[in-house]
Amino acid sequence: MPEAISTLYSALQEDPGRSKGHALLARCYQRAGREDLALVHDRRALELQPGHWPSALAIGHAALARNQISEALTAFTQVARARPDLPEALYGWGVALLGGQMVADAVDVLARAHELRPDDLLICCTLAMAYLSADRLVDAARTVAYAVTLAPRSPMVARCVSALRRVRDEQTQSMSF
């Protein structure tokens, strides 16, 4: 990995306007555990080639990890426009929308990601939790039931089941008063 980084870095010193070179260097830095430098080069790749969705996707994930919702929304929106068929982009966009308290939009985006990749447990559970946030209990229950069929012993699924029970119990208690 150090050799690839050195080679790409030298090539970019000679020709700094190569967006794909910056994107490749970003992936190398990412694999080397240097997220800070990966982000610098992904941003540069995106400046040079605004439609370069892999760099926007990486920027979106990095922004989510730092809880920078606005930056994540911008990046994932850009990726979703370029690649509306990419579940990873839709998932990230949905999570960013949830973080920005745009629950109805998040449900729509996560539902699309789930349609594209129905057996992805992370997408399925995130959609179930979004349904709960939107007070769509029937949809949440259906999605949680599907998640249980995918991975009945998963801790993530257990959290979804628990959250669904908690919401149902709260509704039952509020109705009894």
- pLDDT tens digits for range 116-135: 999 999 999 999 999 999 99
Give the whole-number percent of the chain exceeding pLDDT 90.
Answer: 67
Q: Is the per-residue pLDDT at 176 higher than 70?
A: no
**For the whole model, what pTM was predicted?**
0.85
Rg (CA), the chain: 20
- pLDDT tens digits for range 3-60: 888 888 888 888 888 888 888 888 988 889 898 998 898 899 888 988 889 999 999 9
Token output for 122: 């992370």
In order of their start, the domains of the chain are 17-117 (1.25.40.10), 119-177 (no CATH)
- pLDDT tens digits for range 63-112: 999 999 999 999 999 999 899 999 999 999 999 999 999 999 999 999 99
Token output for 165: 């029970």
HEC secondary structure over 93-115: HHHHHHHCCCHHHHHHHHHHHHH
Report the half-sphere exposure of 63 (CA within 13 A, side-chain side).
25
> Distance of alpha carbon 107 from its chain centroid, rounded?
13
Q: How many residues does the chain have?
A: 177
Residues 92 and 99 sit within 8 Å (Cβ to Cβ): no
Helices (H), the chain: 2-14, 19-31, 35-48, 53-65, 69-82, 87-99, 103-116, 121-133, 137-150, 155-175
